Structure 1
Amino acid sequence: MTNKIIRLPEVKAKTGWSTSTIYLHMSKGIFPKAISLGERAVGWLEADIDQWLDERIAASKAANHE
């Protein structure tokens, strides 16, 4: 597992979501939490985002085969 940290623009590119949607889903506990990088900076572990995406893809494929 890599510990590469990605910032908001890359998270938005990977998910296709807006900033507000990312933070809304984080607050609901259905999207990985950001980690603090300093007073005014946050990032996400790329592995966490990739795992979350893989789980969504698998769930979608399973739902389509039911």
Structure 2
Amino acid sequence: MNAEKTEILRNNADARSQHHAMLVDDFRLVILQAKSITNLKMLRLNSVVEKVGLSRPTIWKRVAEGTFPPPVPVGERAVGWFQHEVDALLQATAISSRKHIPLNLHLFVQRLTDVGVAES
């Protein structure tokens, strides 16, 4: 088992015992699916607002808190969000809500936006 899988499992055990949010297999699968996307699409802020139903200030606040994927530069004075990251966050939030599974948004966003090869 690789180090990242071991860390996720250890974090899951700690979270369960402490009743804190965790990354469970459902959330890990969402991350793996998002990282396997090859046709990247960028969303500008207005599209993100419409897609997630949050206000512009709330999105920026959550980006600053590390609970929403950060934007990436698309020009000198423009940023955008990867659609697959926004979609993955929405999917994980829905899983968390409907299955009553706590979700550690900081850890989820960190794993989702880690640059590197998708975990297999």
Per-residue CA deviation, residues 14-59 of structure 1 (Å, 9 max, x unaligned), is: 1111110000000000000000111210000000000000000000
> Of the candidates 40, 65, 69, which is equivalent to residue 3 of structure 1?
40
Structure 1 runs, 4 residues or longer, greater than 6 Å off: none
Cα RMSD, aligned residues only: 1.2
Give secondary structure in 1 for the equivalent of 2:80. Answer: strand
> Of the candidates 58, 62, 67, which is equivalent to residue 25 of structure 1?
62
Instruction: Answer with 1 or 2: which has the greater Rg.
Output: 2
Q: TM-score, normalised by structure 1?
A: 0.91
Give secondary structure in 2 for the equivalent of 1:37. Answer: strand
**Number of equivalenced pairs:** 64
Paired position in structure 1 for 2:50: 13
Runs of 5+ unmatched residues, structure 1? none
Structure with more contact order per residue of length (Cα contacts < 8 Å, sep ≥ 6): 1
Q: TM-score, normalised by structure 2?
A: 0.51
Runs of 5+ unmatched residues, structure 2? 1-36, 102-120
Listed as ranges, the matches of 1:1-66 within 5 Å are 1=37, 2-63=39-100
Displacement of 1:63? 1.5
Over the matched positions of the two proteins, sequence identity in percent amounts to 34
**Structure with greater helix share of residues:** 2
